[in-house]
C-alpha cells in the first residue's frame, strides 16, 4: 500500500480504537470534558511516583478506562493487548504452530511492546510487579531462545478499572528491565453493592464459543472497604477443520491463484513422520523374496499402498518395496496432515478471584491488602506423537517380515516373507527411524495453570510526605500433561512374538494416505507403551518495598518541586521439573545394540531439569522540577517542567547497575507542548538462559545443499520448488552462564496540541505526535538452525562443511541424489549444535500519532473519537561476520539467490513487524443508549521465508477490521449489550501456514451479548 493511501485510510477511518496515544494520563482523563489537568492532579498513573506531578506531561502514556475496555469486546488479556497499536507480535501464543510441542501450551499469551521481544516489557498489577508465567517457550526470531513472559491471559479484563501503558523506557522508575515500557493493570476496588453479569459469544463458522460470568461485590465500612471480584470463563476449542486456512497442512490450493507461488512445494507442510514407517535392516547384500528385491544395499525397505508401486503384495492393497519413501516426490501424498482432527486453540476453563481491602488504622495511616487467585485448565488436541529417536525392532517381533522361521515357543512365523535370501533362520532386527504412532491416538495436551498473589501494606502521610510500604508474595505453577511413548516399554512390546506385539509394519490407510491407521496394533500393545508425560514448572516472586514522596519538597521559580524516593528488595525463583523419562532419571538402552539415550520418550529429546534464583536490591530517586510557570510571563515559555530520575540495582548474579532518566515538557504557549525524554535500561538474561544444560528442540529448516543437488540435476527449476526439509532434526541448545546482560537506551520527543482557538461548541481536541528510538546491545540469541544450514551449504559448495551440522552417513539414495552434481554426497541432517550468545546491536525506531475529540452533553448526545496510530520506521540488527559472509556469497552467486537468510538490515514490514498499526473508535451515548464503532488496521508485510518462483517474498495483505456494539440500560440498573468484532468477516489474510497467528487472530466475525444487573 502506498504512503498516501495509508494516510488517507487513517484520515477517513470511520472510527478508531479506544486507546488514544495522548499526551499523558492526566490529559487523557481530562480532555473529554475540556478541563485542565490540574483538576485531576491527585491521580497517580504509571510513569511517576509523585502524586500530582506536572512532569508526567513529558511522558507518552496511553490510558483506557473501564468503558473503553468494555467497548473492545475483548474477553482475554491477549485480545485486549492486541488492540494497542504499539503492541508488537504475539509469538508466545497457542495459535502459533499449534500442531507442535513448540507452541505455547495452556492458557497463556505474552506482552511485547514495540516488537522488542518477550521480556522487554514490564507488567504491573496495581502498580507492583507480577510474577512471570513459569513455562518458557522458544519464540525469539534470533533463534529458539527460551523466554519467560507475563501471562496476559491471567489479567481479568472484566475486572479492570483502567489500563495504563507507558510508551517510554522506565528503568529509572520501575526497574532496569522496563526496556520498551510498562503496562500497568489497575483492578476495580472500593466497590459498594453487588453487580452480576453474564456474556456469551462465538465466532461464525466455527465451534468456538465463549461463556463468562462476573460478580462484583463490596461493602463500605465505617473506616474502610472490602471488595471482591470473581470471574468464571469457559471457551470451547477452535478446531482446525472449522476454516479453510487451518484445515490442512497442505495449503498449496490456497495459493493456486497466485502464479508466482503456484509451484512452491514448501506450502505443503505435511509431515514425513507418518504411520508408513522408515525401516532398514542395515547395509548388506540386497535381500530378495522369491527373487523380488525387497531391500536396497543400505537395507532400506518400505510399506506403501499398491497405487504407489509394488514389490511384494502384502494384501489389503499394501505392498512392500525396496528403498526408502521419497516424501518429496513419489510418496508426497503419503505425508501426514497434522491438522486432521486437531485444535488451533485449546478449550479453556478459567477462574479469577480478587479480594481487596483497606482500613484506616488512624487518621493518617491506612492498611491495605490484596489476595488474588487465578487458575485455568486447557485442553488441546495435537497430532499423534512421532518417533524422533531411532529404535531397533528385535528380530522376534511377531509382524517383522524378516523375523525368525519359528518363534521361541516353536510355533511357525506367519509373517516372515517367503523365499528370503540373506536372512538367517533366526531373523534380522529392523531399524525404525521416522514414524508416527497414529494408532495410539491423538496427543491430548492438558495444562493446569495457577497463579496466586498476596499483598499487605501500610500507607499514610507524615510531615507532608506520602509514604507507602508493602510486602508481596506471588507464585505461579503450570503442570503440562500429555500422552507419549515410553521407549523402553515400546522396545519390550516390539520384542514380543505374539499378536500383542506392537506393529509398525502395516502402514496407515490406503484410502486416506495422509491420516489414519487402518490396521492398528492391539489395545494391549497400545496400553503397554503409552504413558502420561509431565512437566511441572514454577516461579515465585517475593518483594518488599518502601516509597516516600512529596509534591512540594522545596520551591523553584516555576512552583513547588516534587520528590520520590524508594527502596525495593525482591527474590525471584524459577524451576522447570521435566518428566523423569527425559531429565536423565530413566534412560533408554537399546536391547539390540546396547546404545543409550538420555531420553526414554519417543517424541522428546533429552531435557534436563533447570532451576535458578536471583536476588535484586534496588533504590531510586525521582524529582519533578517545575522550572517555569505561566505566572513568570516568559515569552515562548509558558510552562517548563522536568523529570529527573535514577535507579541503582544490584543483582546477585550480575553485579550492579545504575540507570538514569530525564524528561522535559515545554509549553510554548497554552495548548502547544513539546516534550522529550532519554533513559537507559538493562535486562539480565532469564534464569533458564543462564542455567540450562543442553536440551533439544525441533530444527525446522531447508537443507540447501540438497536443494543445490536437485537444482544441478534438473529435478527442480529453482529453490522455491525445493522440498528438502530437515524433518525430525534436532537443534541442540546449551545454556551459557557467561552471558552478559543486554543494555539499552530509549529516547523520544514529541508535540502535543490542544487548540484553544476552536470554539467549545465544536468540542475539545487533542493531537499528539511522538518520535521514539530504542537501541539495544548484546541481545541474547542463537545463530539458529536455518543460518547453520545456510553456512553448511556455503562450506560444502566450497569443499568443506559446517561442524555444527551433524548428518547421517550418506545412503545409496543420498549418493544417487548427488550423482553428477559435482557435490560430495551427504546424509540427512540429524542435529545442529547451538549455544546462547550475545548477538549484535539492535535499533528500533518509529512514530506514534494520536487524536482525541470529544463533544459532550449536546442535545444529540455525547460523542468521543479516538485515533491511535503507530508507524515502525526502523528495525535493524548488525548481522555479524557469519551472516555478512552468507550475504556476500549469495550476491556473488556462490550460493543460490533463493537461499533465505536472516533479514537484519531492515526488518520493518517483515513477518510480525508491519509498518503501520492504526486503531480508531467512535463512541456515542445519549440517555440509556450507548453505541460504538471501532476499527483496527494492520498494514501488509513480507514473509522472506516464503519465496516464489521469481525469488520474491510473499506479501501478507493489509487488513482492516470493523467492530461495533450497541448498549441499552433498562430501569433498575439492568444493562444489555450486543456486539460484533470483525463486522465484515475479513478474517486473517493469507500467509505461510494459512495465517500469521502472531499478528492476526485465526477467526473472522465474532458475535457476543452481555447482560448485567446491579443491586
Query: What is the predicted pLDDT for the residue at 727?
Result: 66
Query: What is the predicted pLDDT for the residue at 180?
Result: 85
Query: What is the predicted pLDDT for the residue at 692?
Result: 59
The pTM for the full model equals: 0.84
Please give the mean pLDDT across all residues of the chain: 87
At residue 229, the 3 state secondary structure works out as strand
What's the mean pLDDT in 408-427?
95
What's the mean pLDDT in 364-389?
94
Q: Nearest 10 degrees: CA dihedral of 821, 822, 825, 831?
A: -90
Split at pLDDT 50, 70, 90, the class of 544 is very high
pLDDT digits (tens, 9 = 90+) for 667-701: 999 999 999 999 988 777 766 666 656 666 667 78
Query: What is the predicted pLDDT for the residue at 6?
Result: 38
Q: What angle do CA 124, 535, 684 make, to 5 degrees?
A: 40
What's the mean pLDDT in 365-378?
96
pLDDT digits (tens, 9 = 90+) for 142-177: 455 667 788 888 888 888 999 888 888 777 788 767
Percent of the chain with pLDDT over 90: 62
What is d(CA 252, CA 267) in angstroms, rounded to the nearest whole number?
5
Q: How far is CA 298 from the centre of its chain?
A: 43
Split at pLDDT 50, 70, 90, the class of 902 is confident
Q: Which residues contact 816 (CB under 8 A, 6 or more apart)?
A: none
pLDDT at residue 52 is higher than 80: no
Query: What is the predicted pLDDT for the residue at 609?
Result: 87
Q: Which residues contact 609 (CB under 8 A, 6 or more apart)?
A: 575, 576, 577, 578, 583
Question: Which carries the bigger pLDDT value, residue 725 or residue 826?
Answer: 826
pLDDT digits (tens, 9 = 90+) for 268-287: 999 999 999 999 999 899 99
pLDDT at residue 19 is higher than 90: no
**Other beta carbons within 10 Å of 520:** 18
Q: Which residues contact 635 (CB under 8 A, 6 or more apart)?
A: none
At residue 58, the 3 state secondary structure works out as helix
Residue 985 to residues 75, 656, 866: CA-CA distances in angstroms?
A: 19, 53, 23
pLDDT at residue 638 is higher than 70: yes
Question: Which carries the bigger pLDDT value, residue 902 or residue 271?
Answer: 271
pLDDT at residue 639 is higher than 90: yes
Query: What is the predicted pLDDT for the residue at 14?
Result: 32
What's the mean pLDDT in 879-895?
87
pLDDT at residue 379 is higher than 70: yes
What is d(CA 469, CA 466) in angstroms, rounded to the nearest whole number?
11
Which of 609, 617, 541 shows the shortest CA–CA distance to 579? Answer: 609
Question: Which carries the bigger pLDDT value, residue 875 or residue 782?
Answer: 875
Please give the biggest Cα pair distance in the chain. 110
What is d(CA 532, CA 440) in angstroms, rounded to the nearest whole number?
13
Residue 410's Cβ-count burial label (10 Å; 0-12, 13-18, 19+) is: exposed
Lowest-confidence region among 215-224, 354-363, 430-439, 883-892: 883-892
Query: What is the predicted pLDDT for the residue at 90?
Result: 79
What's the mean pLDDT in 847-875?
92
Q: Are the beta carbons of 196 and 203 closer than 8 angstroms?
A: no
Q: Which residues contact 731 (CB under 8 A, 6 or more apart)?
A: 144, 696, 697, 698, 699, 784, 785, 831, 832, 834
Query: What is the predicted pLDDT for the residue at 694?
Result: 66
Split at pLDDT 50, 70, 90, the class of 380 is very high
Query: What is the predicted pLDDT for the residue at 26?
Result: 33
Query: What is the predicted pLDDT for the residue at 367?
Result: 97
Percentages (nearest 5) of helix, strand, coil residues in the chain: 15, 45, 40
Query: What is the predicted pLDDT for the residue at 31?
Result: 29
What's the mean pLDDT in 63-75?
84
Residue 984's Cβ-count burial label (10 Å; 0-12, 13-18, 19+) is: exposed
Split at pLDDT 50, 70, 90, the class of 903 is low
pLDDT at residue 569 is higher than 80: yes
pLDDT digits (tens, 9 = 90+) for 761-809: 899 999 999 999 999 887 777 777 888 899 999 999 999 999 989 898 8
What's the mean pLDDT in 110-133?
87
Lowest-confidence region among 686-690, 814-818, 999-1003: 686-690
Burial 833-870 (b: 16+ CB within 10 A, else e): bbebbbbbebebbbebbbbbbbbeeeeebbbbbbbbbb
pLDDT at residue 740 is higher than 80: no
Amino acid at each position: 500500500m502506498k504512503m498516501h493511501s495509508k494516510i488517507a485510510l487513517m484520515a477517513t477511518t470511520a472510527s478508531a480504537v479506544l486507546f488514544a496515544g495522548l499526551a499523558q494520563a492526566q490529559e487523557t482523563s481530562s480532555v473529554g470534558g475540556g478541563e485542565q489537568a490540574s483538576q485531576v492532579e491527585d491521580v497517580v498513573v504509571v510513569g511517576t511516583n509523585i502524586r500530582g506531578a506536572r512532569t508526567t506531561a513529558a511522558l507518552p502514556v496511553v490510558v483506557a478506562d473501564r468503558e473503553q475496555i468494555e467497548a473492545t469486546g475483548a474477553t482475554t488479556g491477549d485480545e485486549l493487548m492486541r488492540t494497542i497499536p504499539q503492541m508488537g507480535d504475539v509469538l508466545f501464543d497457542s495459535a502459533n504452530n499449534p500442531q507442535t510441542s513448540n507452541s505455547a501450551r495452556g492458557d497463556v499469551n505474552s506482552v511485547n511492546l514495540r516488537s522488542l521481544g518477550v521480556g522487554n516489557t514490564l507488567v504491573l498489577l496495581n502498580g507492583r510487579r507480577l510474577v512471570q508465567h513459569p513455562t518458557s517457550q522458544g519464540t525469539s526470531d534470533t533463534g529458539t531462545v527460551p523466554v519467560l513472559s507475563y501471562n496476559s491471559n491471567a489479567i481479568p479484563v472484566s475486572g479492570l478499572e483502567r489500563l495504563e501503558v507507558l510508551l517510554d523506557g522506565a528503568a529509572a522508575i520501575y526497574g532496569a528491565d522496563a526496556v520498551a515500557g510498562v503496562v500497568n493493570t489497575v483492578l476495580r476496588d472500593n466497590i459498594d453493592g453487588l453487580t452480576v453479569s453474564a456474556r456469551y459469544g462465538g465466532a461464525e463458522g466455527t465451534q468456538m464459543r465463549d461463556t463468562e460470568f462476573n460478580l462484583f461485590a463490596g461493602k463500605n465500612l465505617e473506616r474502610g472497604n472490602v471488595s471482591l471480584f470473581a470471574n468464571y470463563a469457559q471457551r470451547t476449542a477452535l478446531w482446525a477443520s472449522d476454516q479453510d486456512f487451518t484445515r490442512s497442512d497442505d495449503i498449496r490450493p490456497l495459493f493456486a491463484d497466485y502464479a508466482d507461488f503456484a509451484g512452491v512445494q514448501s506450502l505443503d507442510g505435511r509431515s514425513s513422520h507418518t504411520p508408513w514407517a522408515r525401516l532398514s535392516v542395515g547395509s548388506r547384500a540386497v535381500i530378495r523374496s522369491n527373487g523380488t528385491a525387497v531391500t536396497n544395499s543400505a537395507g532400506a525397505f518400505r510399506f506403501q499402498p499398491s497405487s504407489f508401486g509394488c514389490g511384494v503384495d502384502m494384501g489389503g492393497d499394501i505392498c512392500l518395496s525396496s528403498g526408502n519413501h521419497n516424501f518429496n516426490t513419489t510418496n508426497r501424498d503419503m505425508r501426514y496432515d497434522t491438522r486432521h482432527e486437531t485444535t488451533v486453540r485449546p478449550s479453556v476453563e478459567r477462574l479469577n478471584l480478587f479480594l481487596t481491602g483497606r482500613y484506616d488504622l488512624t487518621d493518617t495511616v491506612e492498611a491495605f491488602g490484596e489476595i488474588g487467585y487465578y487458575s485455568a485448565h486447557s485442553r488441546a488436541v495435537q497430532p499423534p506423537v512421532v518417533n524422533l529417536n531411532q529404535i531397533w525392532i528385535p528380530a522376534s517381533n511377531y509382524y517383522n517380515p524378516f523375523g525368525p522361521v519359528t518363534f521361541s515357543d516353536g510355533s511357525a512365523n506367519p509373517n516372515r516373507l517367503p523365499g528370503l535370501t540373506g536372512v538367517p533362520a533366526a531373523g534380522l532386527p529392523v531399524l525404525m527411524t521416522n514414524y508416527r504412532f497414529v494408532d495410539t491416538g491423538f496427543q491430548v495436551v492438558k495444562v493446569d495453570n495457577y497463579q496466586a498473589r498476596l499483598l499487605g501494606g501500610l500507607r499514610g502521610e507524615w510531615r507532608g510526605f506520602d509514604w507507602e510500604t508493602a510486602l508481596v508474595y506471588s507464585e505461579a505453577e503450570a503442570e503440562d500433561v500429555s500422552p507419549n511413548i515410553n521407549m523402553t516399554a515400546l522396545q519390550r512390546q516390539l520384542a514380543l512374538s505374539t499378536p500383542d506385539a506392537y506393529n509398525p509394519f502395516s502402514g496407515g490407510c490406503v484410502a486416506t494416505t495422509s491420516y489414519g491407521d487402518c490396521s492398528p496394533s492391539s489395545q494391549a500393545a497400545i496400553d503397554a507403551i503409552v504413558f502420561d508425560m509431565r512437566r511441572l514448572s514454577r516461579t515465585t516472586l517475593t518483594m518488599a518495598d518502601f516509597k516516600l514522596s512529596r509534591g512540594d519538597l522545596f520551591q523553584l521559580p516555576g512552583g513547588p518541586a516534587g520528590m520520590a524516593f524508594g527502596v525495593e528488595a525482591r527474590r525471584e525463583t524459577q524451576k522447570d521439573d521435566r518428566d523423569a523419562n527425559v531429565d536423565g532419571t530413566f534412560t533408554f538402552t537399546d536391547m539390540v545394540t546396547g546404545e543409550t539415550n538420555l531420553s526414554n520418550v519417543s517424541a522428546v529429546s533429552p531435557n534436563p531439569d533447570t532451576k535458578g534464583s536471583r536476588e535484586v536490591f534496588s533504590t531510586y530517586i525521582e524529582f519533578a522540577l517545575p522550572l517555569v510557570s505561566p505566572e513568570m510571563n516568559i515569552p515562548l515559555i509558558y510552562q517548563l517542567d522536568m523529570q529527573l530520575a535514577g535507579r541503582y540495582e544490584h543483582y546477585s548474579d550480575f553485579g550492579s547497575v545504575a540507570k538514569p532518566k530525564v524528561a522535559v515538557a515545554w509549553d510554548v504557549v497554552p495548548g502547544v507542548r513539546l516534550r522529550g525524554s532519554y533513559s537507559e535500561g538493562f535486562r539480565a538474561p532469564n534464569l533458564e538462559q543462564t542455567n540450562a544444560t543442553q536440551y533439544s528442540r525441533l530444527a525446522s529448516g531447508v537443507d540447501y545443499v540438497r536443494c543445490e543437488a536437485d537444482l544441478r540435476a534438473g529435478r527442480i527449476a529453482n529453490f522455491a520448488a525445493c522440498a528438502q526439509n530437515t524433518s525430525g532434526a534436532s537443534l541442540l541448545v546449551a545454556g551459557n552462564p557467561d552471558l552478559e546482560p543486554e543494555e539499552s537506551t530509549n529516547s523520544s520527543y514529541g508535540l502535543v496540541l490542544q487548540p484553544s482557538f476552536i470554539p467549545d461548541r465544536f468540542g475539545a481536541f487533542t493531537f499528539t505526535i511522538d518520535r521514539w528510538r530504542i537501541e539495544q546491545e548484546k541481545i541474547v540469541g542463537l545463530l539458529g538452525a536455518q543460518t547453520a544450514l545456510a553456512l553448511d551449504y556455503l562450506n560444502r559448495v566450497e569443499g568443506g562443511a559446517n561442524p555444527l551440522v551433524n548428518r547421517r552417513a550418506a545412503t545409496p539414495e543420498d549418493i544417487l541424489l548427488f550423482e553428477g552434481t559435482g557435490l560430495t554426497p551427504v546424509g540427512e541432517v540429524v542435529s545442529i549444535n547451538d549455544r546462547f550468545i550475545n548477538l549484535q546491536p539492535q535499533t528500533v525506531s518509529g512514530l506514534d500519532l494520536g487524536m482525541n475529540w470529544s463533544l459532550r452533553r449536546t442535545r444529540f448526545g455525547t460523542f468521543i473519537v479516538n485515533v491511535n496510530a503507530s508507524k515502525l520506521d526502523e528495525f535493524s540488527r548488525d548481522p555479524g561476520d557469519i551472516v555478512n559472509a552468507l550475504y556476500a556469497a549469495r550476491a556473488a552467486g556462490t550460493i543460490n539467490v533463493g537461499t533465505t537468510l536472516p533479514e537484519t538490515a531492515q526488518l520493518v514490514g517483515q513477518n510480525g513487524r508491519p509498518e503501520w498499526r492504526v486503531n480508531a473508535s467512535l463512541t456515542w451515548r445519549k440517555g440509556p443508549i450507548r453505541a460504538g464503532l471501532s476499527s483496527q488496521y494492520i498494514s501488509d508485510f513480507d514473509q522472506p521465508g516464503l519465496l516464489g518462483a521469481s525469488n520474491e517474498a510473499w506479501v501478507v495483505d493489509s487488513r482492516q477490521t470493523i467492530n461495533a456494539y450497541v448498549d441499552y440500560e433498562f430501569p433498575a440498573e439492568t444493562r444489555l449489550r450486543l456486539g460484533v468484532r470483525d463486522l465484515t468477516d475479513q478474517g486473517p489474510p493469507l500467509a505461510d501456514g494459512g495465517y500469521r497467528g502472531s499478528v492476526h487472530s485465526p477467526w473472522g466475525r465474532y458475535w457476543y451479548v452481555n447482560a448485567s444487573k446491579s443491586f
